[in-house]
Amino acid sequence: MTSDKPDKSGKPDKAKGRRQGPRKVSAGYLERAALHYLGRFSTTEANLRAVLERKIRRRNEENAPPTDEQLGWVDTVVAKCVSYGYVDDATYARSRVDTLIRKGKPTRMIAQDLRYKGVPTEIADATMRAISEDNERDPDRQAAAAYVRRRRFGAFRRADRDVEGKLDKEKAAMMRAGFSYGLVAEMLSLSEDEILDLLP
């Protein structure tokens, strides 16, 4: 029990009962941490493993890397989460691709994002192929339409703007975002209704 008696400075000493130094890592702690994380975020096996390893490093003395025993606990927890269906790389990849197309990201940038998030290459490639085959529309055209609408380019541009000056800036912005010149020129020449028809 902590004492609220004042110390030499005259302030109550409430820190006496507090633990000094890093707290211990256990398999139970890692499982609770994984479930808490998965309750908030959808993720991949690789990313969940990285999250748990960061938590271990923060709790180890002097931020030491995880020990072999701790890495074994991480493997066990990740395998459990996969077996329960809490982590599924294919489902995550499909959901992420749909979200990024709606946000106006071209397929090349989406493929990079999947690699960055830790989706295995074979799953990422299969997901990108499935997106192209499932849609009767080109996913890059859908993403470009979403980008034009979100940024208020082309047909969505405010009428009081200098069209010639804005057009060059809009083209440059779309090309920096990863769209091809031909697709950029097409999207900026379409009417508002034509763009809305392309949206996912």
For 64, the token pair is: 């030491």
- Across the chain, mean pLDDT equals 88
Q: For residue 101, what is the enclosing H or E element?
A: helix 89-103
Q: What pLDDT does residue 181 have?
A: 94
Q: Where are the domains of the chain?
A: 27-83, 89-134, 139-198
pLDDT tens, per residue, the chain with 200 residues: 455 555 566 655 555 556 566 678 899 999 999 999 999 999 999 999 999 999 999 998 888 888 999 999 999 999 999 999 999 999 999 999 999 999 999 999 999 999 999 999 999 999 998 887 776 778 899 999 999 999 999 888 887 667 777 888 999 999 999 999 999 999 999 999 999 998 87
Q: What pLDDT does residue 62 have?
A: 82
- Does the predicted model carry a pTM greater than 0.95? no
* 104 close to 177: Cβ distance less than 8 angstroms: yes
Q: What pLDDT does residue 164 have?
A: 75
* 121 close to 127: Cβ distance less than 8 angstroms: no
SS3 6: strand
Sign, CA torsion 126/129/133/138: positive
- Render pLDDT for 138-152 as a digit per residue (tens, 0 to 9): 889 999 999 999 999
Q: What pLDDT does residue 177 have?
A: 93
For 72, the token pair is: 């074994």
Q: What pLDDT does residue 105 have?
A: 94
User: Residues in the chain, how many?
Assistant: 200
Instruction: Return the CA Rg of the chain.
Output: 25
Sign, CA torsion 34/79/85/117: positive
